[in-house]
Amino acid sequence: MKNTGTILGGIALAAVAVLYVLHFTGAKSGGSNSDSPKSSSHTHGHVAYFEMDSVEQHYQFIKDARDEIKKAEESISGELNGMKKGYMGRVQQLQSQAPTMSQQDGERAQAEINQMQVNLQQREAKLTQELQEKQFKMMKDINDKIAVFLKGYNADKRYAYIISRSPGDFVYYADSAFNITKDVIEGLNKTYKEQAPKK
């Protein structure tokens, strides 16, 4: 079972990839207007950045998604633990009856144990796959929301690039004047709150 910390830790890398793809896609689609005054405002070379770990800590959607994944993990663990407990209980019961079993009864008992083991393994594989799909969808949703917000944000700011920074990145210096983390967190949370179902 993958830890949500590992999954969220990979979000930063995925976000960088998505943002670069968005940039280059935009550059290709707008190539015919590269000489226009409007597009020239994109060529100053300014690079804005935001701290992905701060976004993970303060973006409410990520907090809610993390809680949802944790609940799913707990539910899966509870179900599998219940199945394993039932399996072990049945094994012990049949083992205690083994001395008085006929050969035919023993074969039936062994077949039952084998089938229970198969059922447990299949259920565990299915639940694990469902959790991984849920985690992947969460990552995609987070990246999509960030990308959509930054697209609108950059319509006014006119940065050539907007990238995310994470611990361990090979970025040795970043001018804090181009740190838009606060704007990103506030904007994402505002949008998330506006789109949340009314209680």
- Using DSSP, state whether 41 is helix, strand or coil: coil
One-letter identity of residue 129: Q
Which H or E run includes 5?
helix 4-9
Find the mean pLDDT for residues 41-50.
72
Name the residue with higher pLDDT: 198 or 87. Answer: 87
Evaluate whether 160 touches 43 at the Cβ level (below 8 Å). Answer: yes
pLDDT at 40: 41
Residue 168: pLDDT over 50: yes
Name the residue with higher pLDDT: 55 or 196. Answer: 55
Find the mean pLDDT for residues 167-171.
85
Find the mean pLDDT for residues 157-170.
87
pLDDT at 110: 93
Find the mean pLDDT for residues 101-127.
94
pLDDT at 157: 67
pLDDT at 169: 85
Mean pLDDT score of the chain: 82
pLDDT at 35: 37
**CB within 8 A of 119, min separation 6: which ones?**
83
Q: What tens digit of pLDDT does each residue of 76-96 get? A: 999 999 999 999 999 999 999
For residue 170, count other CB atoms closer than 10 A to its CB: 4
